[in-house]
């Protein structure tokens, strides 16, 4: 068997020294045998002390209760101000750091949605730049811009284009 007894095996050895797997290991391992013997001696001594204490007369226990109950009210609990101040400071630091960290994680506000008015303004500026001395390749784009501008004018109900 490799290693020494586990906690469960130690408990089994104390409760039932004739357990098969424990006795096999104890036969082979002198260190565990010595440990079990020393532990058994300590348990026996403790058991004896408990029996001796339980055989004390009732007046002893009455005296114990009285002695303890008279000492309890006299005991004052000192408030550990230094410890309380450190705890309060630590709590404040945790709250502050948490609030700072949470502020950094707030997503940036979304950019405002573009309106059709700003699109029309952009289109007018493109139209003006296209309408001035156009190369032949950009003339179809100028025609398209004029048509879009005309449609916008008709939609808004005005007869004059804004750029002219």
Residue 56, both tokens: 């004390």
Residue 2, both tokens: 């490799």
Examine the fold and report which residue of 56, 73, 90 is the final residue of a domain before the chain moves on: 73
**For the chain, what is the domain count?**
2
CA distance 104 to 82: 33
CA distance 154 to 36: 104
Domain residues for 29? Answer: 7-73
Q: Which ranges of the chain have pLDDT less than 50? A: 1, 163-164
Asked whether the whole model's pTM tops 0.75, one would answer no
- 49 within domain boundaries: yes
Looking at residue 1, its pLDDT comes to 45
- 106 within domain boundaries: no
- 20 within domain boundaries: yes
CA distance 6 to 32: 11
């Amino acid at each position: 068997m490799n290693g020494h007894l586990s906690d469960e095996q130690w408990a089994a050895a104390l409760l039932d020294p004739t357990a098969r797997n424990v006795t096999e290991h104890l036969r082979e391992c002198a260190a565990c045998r010595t440990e079990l013997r020393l532990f058994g001696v300590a348990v026996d001594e403790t058991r004896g002390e408990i029996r001796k204490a339980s055989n004390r007369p009732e007046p002893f226990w009455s005296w114990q209760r009285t002695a303890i109950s008279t000492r309890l009210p006299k005991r004052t609990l000192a408030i550990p101000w230094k410890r309380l101040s450190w705890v309060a400071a630590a709590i404040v630091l945790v709250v502050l750091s948490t609030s700072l960290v949470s502020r950094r994680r707030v997503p940036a506000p979304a950019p405002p949605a573009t309106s059709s008015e700003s699109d029309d303004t952009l289109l007018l500026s493109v139209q003006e730049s296209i309408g001035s001395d156009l190369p032949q390749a950009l003339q179809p784009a100028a025609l398209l811009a004029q048509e879009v501008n005309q449609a916008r004018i008709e939609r808004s109900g005005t007869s004059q284009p804004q750029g002219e």
